[in-house]
Amino acid sequence: MSGVPPRSPRDRYLTVYGRMPVLEALGASERQVARVFVVDGARGDAVDRILAAAAERSVPVERATVERVAALARNGRHHQGVAADVEAPNLAPLATFLERRSHGRAYRTSVLVLDAVHNPANVGMVLRSATAAGLEGVVVPRRGTAELGPLVIKASAGVAFNAPVVRCETAAGALEELVAARFEVVGLDAAARGAEDLFLAGLPERAAYVLGNETSGLSPAVGPMVGRWLRVPLARGVESLNIAAAATLVAFEVARRRSGPAGAA
């Protein structure tokens, strides 16, 4: 529709796609929906309800081609002809995040960095745990990691909308910027030579904890960038934990250290 401002890649939003997810977003009064995209010619009861809900909330609706909606959703099969931009107030590009956390008390910062984490359920659970623990950010690359769509949002139980998501293009590129900003890169791998016990090791006040692929661990581009390794001590022959479980332990161990008498990681 005319009068709708152009969509900016710097807008703080998550794109929700599929008829029911979009309808649910419009029906949640606490969610600020920036706009709705509907494929030209899309019909049906759900589409009618989406249009009515958008009109009731004065949300702009833009008619678009199938190709445009598929591109916006980054999903060519399951968008069902509709998508919506939902504001995520704590989402920020990496450069902005680093600028905000470069001085004073904000200098003490711990982030999780996802490296080729393909399972949307794992991404969603990591976002939920990191947010609950009070970590400052979760770096979610656009390339090589599950898209921040309905499956991630569902797995996070809606927390993804308010999670401190930090966007970048690649995990390796993000780590280069983090190292330049004086973050210590810490990898999680029980099998890594010299890996320290998470619960006994000293933790840096400015740290990027890297979590790798569900089956193969850290990617070849990222592994060499790790300056230090931690492991979660496991008993009874268990070799490893699910990535979301490991992320939860790291996030809450950082939180526990901060709440201790010294108040330091």
Cβ 87 vs Cβ 12: under 8 Å: yes
* Residue 181 to residues 60, 95, 107, 115, Cα–Cα distance (Å): 39, 10, 10, 19
* Residue 62 to residues 35, 42, 49, Cα–Cα distance (Å): 7, 12, 15
Domains by residue range for the chain, with CATH: 13-87 (3.30.1330.30), 92-259 (3.40.1280.10)
Q: How confident is the model over 97-143, as pLDDT tens digits?
A: 999 999 998 999 999 999 999 999 999 999 999 999 999 999 999 99
Instruction: Return the pLDDT at 189.
Output: 87
* CA gap 124, 151 in Å, rounded: 8
pLDDT beneath 50, residues of the chain: 1-10, 262-265
| Residue 63, phi then psi, degrees to nearest 5 | -80, 140
Instruction: Return the pLDDT at 11.
Output: 55
Instruction: Return the pLDDT at 4.
Output: 44
Instruction: Return the pLDDT at 5.
Output: 45
Instruction: Return the pLDDT at 9.
Output: 47
Give the sheet arrangement for strand 228-231, strand by strand.
92-93, 165-168, 137-141, 109-114, 206-211, 184-188, 228-231, 196-197
Give me the long-range contacts of 248-252 (CB less than 8 A, separation at least 24): 248/125, 248/126, 248/129, 248/133, 249/198, 250/112, 250/188, 250/198, 250/209, 251/112, 251/129, 251/130, 251/132, 251/133, 251/135, 252/129, 252/133
pTM of the model: 0.87
Instruction: Return the pLDDT at 264.
Output: 43
